[in-house]
Structure 1
Amino acid sequence: MAEDSALKGFIPTLDYDKEMKRWANMFKVLSEPEPEIGHTPRNEIWRKNKSVLWHYPAKKKKYEIPLFFVYSLFNKPYILDIAPKASVIEGLTNMGYEVYLLDWGSPGYEDKKIGMDTYIEKYLRTAVKRAIRHSGAKEITVIGYCLGGTIASIYASIAEEPIRNLIVATVPIDFQPFIGPDKWAEGFREGDINIDRFIDTYGIIPPKLVEGMFRAIGAPIYFTNYTNLLHRAHDSKYVDKWRRMNKWTLDQVPFAGEAYRQLANDLFKENKLVKGEMMVGNKKVDLKNIKANLFVVSGSRDNLILEDQSKPIMDLASSKDKTYITVEAGHVSLALTGLFAKIVDQWAASRSNPL
């Protein structure tokens, strides 16, 4: 009588259909063109240099006050319109909001002298004015994501435009807490890392260096997405999402040198925003000047921005209507899954003058 092998049940049975799907999808990732990104209907309504202001009409307008998105200068904003049924912008237009997005564009060497002052005063302020005029609304909601939230907060503190609501997600406000190698923080703050010399030499921060910074901060977690792809390559929906995310992750943009100089020195090094010492042009940035209704969103699984970096704005802003929430999401998955649209709607619907 034959005896059962000691390894029976220890070695999993091979699922041939699953393995065929896995390797077919891996071949697809390696051989097919990258997926198309940005499918929600839109119109260009203003352009300055490389930057473009896009308007995404509501499917059926339900709110008087439009939404204006400000995204990070480090990445391209199409993460907000990444795929059908997972798009933040599509979700909000389907819910009845008029949506505007300022795409900063990709600066070239000729843009090396563009600083944060110019981005905020000449680009963002003008774009907000255009959006208000285009929409016919008397007020606007400004939404900032990641560093875009920092920029939106700075702008809101000096804005003369009628901002009804300010929404910021995964936003760094206090730059004292630091995710990344301790030596980086020490080098920045003690002057061992000389950003000024680098910028004077190269003019702009090249995309590969931007990608390298995020790789270093996220390592070794950053590399596990390829392991996850192989593990879940039999799932076509997951593979499609992975391909879109991977395209966005590798699609970094250059960073204008003067803007990065201000960012590195004023925020990373000297933490001037929370100290009330930052200047934009001849204007002092004081977050106490923010009186708009304030909504702050953090992700409990965010491996780039700590909650301790976001929370200080709750105490610094003078808004009478303030809400802070933490959601079960990562830094990117909050946008990648379209979850952010539902969160914005839940808070903004009653504060956007329903028609």
Structure 2
Amino acid sequence: MNAPLNFTAESLAQEAMQFQAKLRAGLDTLRQVEDVDYGATSKEEVWRDGRVVLYRFRGDKAPTAKVPLLIAYALVNRPYMTDLQADKSIVRGLLERGEDVYILDWGYPDRSDRYLELEDYIQRFLGGAVDHLRQASGHDAINLLGICQGGAFSLCYAALNPGKVRNLITMVTPVDFHTDDNMLSHWTRNIDVDQFVDTLGNVPADLMNWCYLTLKPWRLFVQKYVGLVDILDNKQAIEDFLRMEKWIFDSPDLAGEAFRQFIKMFYQGNGFVNGGVRIGEREVDLADITMPVLNIYALQDHLVPPAASQALGGLIGTTDYTEHSFRGGHIGIYVSSRAQREVPDSIRDWLRERDR
């Protein structure tokens, strides 16, 4: 006899047996899995300022691009998301297409970094890396790829130093922080960030992770772990899952003063749109960005909604502005199979047209 939900005692028993078989297979699989590693591509340190390090990636062949491409990632996560594993690496895709790729690693701030400001990150660290590459390559200006918060930093740097950036690429970069669908922005607009930073000093990574996870609580706290049962008998799938989990929870603390400034000027003040972004003694005006700009955004991005990125086109001064939309989310734009095909091609083709 069928129950109202169209299952029987026999089907429930069968499902329970299959579940137990998955768990038994999972025990065997987990015995084979060691600590997962990340970073598919070899790299070497070429410049350092304190704990901030500039790396050059080494591909299987020498780069054909003459102008270096510098990647600036966000502070809130580790930059190896761009080179997570061999088949999920935007970096590897760019190297295979001839780009000369560098990445800035912000490191793990400690209490001695509490008073670092946005000026330190943008003009000192990012600017120092740019100047090193300009000198090493013999070019007056380099190509800059800013990702997420690193994209906001790159916009500030390019506006303040337009002669040092030849081509600017932004990926999943927030520009208008007050779009209606930006839940993270709604949360932070009324926070007393002064009390927050004065109390905590540096902002703990675990607290930031909790905030991001609660944007999608069912998906990120429950569903993905329930779904883990389905792949327990697949060693490769388990390793991929653990590698992603390691990235999610391998987050640095955030320097308190820089966090205070970023929340006030961007999330609360919406400074790119309304004005009021000051880096040191200088005010940022996106109209001063006159170099070519490629803006890549993700259509299903819950952290940086498309409208938040698309606002860039109406604020910058360049006449050479290109948008590229990607079908995926904030993380999928780095690790999905679609991303491996589309994103490096889009960047390479766009740069080739302008670096001739």
Q: Which bin holds the TM-score, normalised by the shorter protein?
A: 0.7 to 0.9
Residue 133 (structure 1) aligned to one of 132, 135, 141: 135
Q: Which residue does the alignment assign to 1:239?
A: 238
Structure 1 residue 326: Cα displacement? 1.6
Is the aligned partner of 1:202 residue 2:223? no
- Of 17-26 and 171-180, more deviation after overlay is shown by 17-26
CA displacement at 1:132 relative to structure 2: 2.2
Query: Which whole-Å CA distance do the structure 1 matches of 2:279 and 2:92 have between them?
Result: 33
The alpha-carbon deviation at position 206 of structure 1 amounts to 1.0
SS of 1:308's partner is: helix
Query: When the two structures are aligned, how many residues end up with a matched partner?
Result: 345
* TM-superposed deviation, 1:127: 0.6
The Cα offsets for residues 26-68 of structure 1, whole Å up to 9 and x where unpaired, read as: 6655884431111311110111111100011342322112211
Q: Tell me the distance in 2 between the aligned counterparts of 1:171 and 1:182.
A: 14
**Residues 233-265 of structure 1, C-alpha deviations (whole Å, 9 max, x = no match):** 344443222111111011111000000000111
* Secondary structure of 2:349 counterpart: helix
Q: Is the 8 A contact 2:29 2:235 kept in 1?
A: no
Q: CA deviation at 1:9?
A: 9.5
Q: Distance in 1 between matches of 2:266 and 2:100?
A: 33
Q: Deviations for 1:247-300, whole angstroms, at most 9, x for unmatched residues?
A: 101111100000000011111111112112211111110111111211111112
**Which stretches in structure 2 are left out of the alignment for 5+ residues?**
1-6
1:110 counterpart letter in structure 2:
S
**1:40–1:90 CA contact under 8 A, matched in 2:** yes
1:156 to 155, 158, 164: 158
RMSD across aligned positions (CA): 2.8
Distance 1:30 1:249 in 2: 23
Can you give the 5+ residue segments of structure 1 that lack an aligned partner in the other structure?
1-5
**TM-score normalised by length of structure 1:** 0.88
Hey, what does 1:82 align to over in structure 2?
A: 84
Q: Which residue does 2:50 correspond to in 1?
A: 49
**Is 1:313 the equivalent of 2:343?**
no
Letter in 2 for 1:226: Y
Within-5 A mapping of 1:56-135? 56-58=57-59, 59-135=61-137
Identify the residue that residue 182 of structure 2 maps to in structure 1. 179
Counterpart code for 2:44: N
Which deviates more from structure 2 when the two are superposed, residues 61-70 or residues 160-169?
Answer: 160-169
- Compute the displacement of 1:347 (Å): 3.8
Q: Which moved more, 1:339-348 or 1:11-20?
A: 11-20
SS at match of 1:205: coil
Aligned to 1:324: 323
> Contact 2:185 / 2:267 at 8 angstroms: preserved in 1?
no
Partner of 1:34, secondary structure, is coil
Read off the aligned partner of 1:174 and give its amino acid letter: D
For 1:272-287, list aligned pairs within 5 A. 272-287=271-286
Q: Which amino acid aligns with 2:52?
A: S
Does residue 290 (structure 1) correspond to residue 293 (structure 2)? The answer is no
Cα drift, residue 13 of structure 1 = 6.1
Q: Determine what percentage of the aligned residue pairs are the same residue.
A: 26
Work out whether residues 71 and 77 of structure 1, in 8 Å CA contact, stay in contact via their aligned partners in 2.
Answer: yes
Aligned pair in 2 of structure 1 residues 182, 36: CA closer, same or farther (>3 Å)? Answer: closer
Worse overlay, 87-96 or 57-66: 57-66
Alpha-carbon contact 1:108-1:254 (below 8 Å) kept: yes
Q: Does the Cα contact within 8 Å between 1:87 and 1:337 map onto a contact in 2?
A: no
Equivalent-residue separation in structure 2 for 1:248 and 1:45 (angstroms) = 24
Partner amino acid for 1:284? E
Structure 2 counterpart SS, 1:225: helix
The C-alpha deviation readout for 1:68-104, integer Å capped at 9, x for no partner, is 1000010010111100122111121122111010001
Change (3 A) 1:212 1:26: farther
Q: Write the distance in 1 (CA, Å) between the matches of 2:177 and 2:25.
A: 45
Equivalent-residue separation in structure 2 for 1:79 and 1:70 (angstroms): 12
- 1:3 matched residue in structure 2: none
2:39 aligned with 1:38, yes or no?
Answer: yes
Seen in structure 2, the aligned counterparts of structure 1 residues 322 and 181 have a Cα distance that, compared at 3 Å, is closer
Deviations 1:212-241 (A, max 9, x none): 111222322222221222233344443222
**Residue 89 of structure 1 contacts residue 341 of structure 1 at CA under 8 Å; is this kept in 2?**
no
Structure-2 separation of matches of 1:26 and 1:328 = 36
Instruction: Give, as a single letter, the amino acid of the residue that structure 1 aligns with 2:297.
Output: S
Distance in 2 (CA, whole Å) between partners of 1:181 and 1:96 is 37
SS in 1 for 2:215: helix
